[in-house]
Chain A
């Protein structure tokens, strides 16, 4: 089998904010067309890791390579090239509130291509159709429900058909039905568009539905990296506790 270049490669990423060490020697890889889930309990450093991957925090220590671009030492121009190839779904959608949904989704297209307006309009409609949100082009974000905002933000994230998609707690604040619908959407993106997806979440049902690969963080360290099935067999008490509580059980899953 041909050894493929990993889409993301993180080596010994460390970060200190003030006098708190938030990340310690975090290392992992993400491969082509897989859904990698970064998880752990609140405050373990998941979102911080994600923000390092997308260049929102400068790398203090370690190496971060995304799509072949060394984020830790990239120039402005290289980062610009990276941003044309990734999409980011923020926790609250982060749609621009002063413009319509259609204008929001069109931003990456207007920014990075010279396509005429007619084509952009069609593409915007197509993306909104893909995320199962037709008919809302003219609305402003404050008129949408939480689930609809996430879908619109997802449409914007995939506007340029990026090979790599980042999602920060996509299920946050959603009811179970909407949550599973969003998960189905993410699976569709992986299957149909061949995307590689990095997800930060702590929702166990979503993890079961989506994850190919798990990166489990605890207090800023990686305590597990590998397929989900292996994670469930892990003897590590923290991981066991996490999945046990996530499934709502009160008795240990694997009596030792």
Chain B
């Protein structure tokens, strides 16, 4: 006697003959989704006013199957087709009784967003040597960063916009302020020297080029590393501590793609804009000092600035900001995933992430600066 494999699934199907709709096979959650679309299409063209759904060939049904059948019945009723159920086997009848007789209550919508972090017990294994983990992450970020632009289902809908808001929009006031002050300080320090040589005009050169090529991208990256690098690390670390990452894994979702990639996309998108903003405010600071301290009219300052800035300078700043964005997310993810211990561990890795992000941003800045020189 052949022993049937209890883990095999009979293929779900349907047959429309006359005014009878035969359901066949296993109407379970894995198979029912494509059938639903097909059935809707078929029923759209159904000409009669009466339909009998025959369940006698149905082997198995689960809750998804019940909901789909009910949805189809509702669809028919909307189009004025009367539906009846026929020849329901006993096991299928049980399933209907369990799932469909309920009054599914509509819930009162009370949307309240609450970003508290929960801490719990943790067992997290470091399975790979540090270096292998690091380079795997480096490559994974690049690979999935590209692939997931086209592969929407790997992460939550709307996450990109949400992250762009947190990382970018919310940082505008602080970056604008800081950049302005840096521009002011920069100009102030050099104005003394420039005045001695009567080279007042060159304050425009100095401020514009320094901001666009160096200070703008750097200050922006440092602020974002502090704000968002720490947020990324602590969010991941907390999710690990509370087993949320384990839960994602056992639902077949890759935590890196679900949590980190949207942040990477957002950071890459948003940092260049923030950099331009920083450039603008920094130069504005310099302009103000030029006017107040060096008797340089804004009109002259502006003209000189345009003369002196090349597209190349702006491009350098843009490329730098992209590289910095990648470094910040990499640092946050790398340390976040390596958390050990509870609350203390979360704090520890958050600190390490920010320090590493800032440090490597500055190193990258030097390297790129030399490269582009």
Contacts and interface: CB of A to CB of B under 8 A. Distances in A.
Interface string B124-140: 01010000000000000
A5 B8 CA distance: 12
Interface in A50-90: 51, 54-58, 67-68, 79-80, 83-86, 88, 90
Given A122-B104, A138-B111, A56 B250 contact: yes
Interface footprint category on B: 35 or more
A79 B253 CA distance: 11
Contacts of B68: 119
Given A112-B30, A115-B33, A161-B28, A126 B120 contact: no
Contacts of B114: 140, 142-143
Contacts of A51: 123
Contacts of B252: 79-80, 83-84, 108, 111-112
A114 B34 contact: yes
A126 B251 contact: no
Given A90-B246, A92-B120, A161-B29, A138 B109 contact: yes
Interface in A165-195: 192-193
Given A3-B3, A68-B5, A97-B244, A116 B36 contact: yes
Interface stretch (A128-136, A199-207, A236-244): A128-136
Given A32-B6, A129-B102, A57 B125 contact: yes
Nearest to A2: B3
A54 B250 contact: yes
A111 B153 contact: yes
A23 to B, nearest CB: 14
Interface in A101-155: 107-116, 118-119, 122-123, 125-127, 129, 134-143, 153
B251 A17 contact: no
A134 B105 contact: yes
Interface in B280-338: none
Contacts of B56: none
Contacts of A112: 30, 252
Contacts of A253: none
Contacts of A54: 250
Given A94-B242, A140-B113, A119 B36 contact: yes
Interface of B: 1, 3, 5-7, 28-30, 32-34, 36-37, 62-64, 67-68, 71, 98-99, 102, 104-105, 107-118, 120-121, 123, 125, 127, 153, 156, 239, 242-244, 246-253
6 contacts: A108-B251, A111-B251, A111-B252, A127-B63, A193-B62, A193-B98
Interface of A: 2-5, 17, 32, 47, 51, 54-58, 67-68, 79-80, 83-86, 88, 90-92, 94-100, 107-116, 118-119, 122-123, 125-127, 129, 134-143, 153, 160-161, 163, 192-193
The 5 closest A-B pairs by CB, nearest first: A83-B252, A94-B247, A94-B243, A161-B62, A114-B33
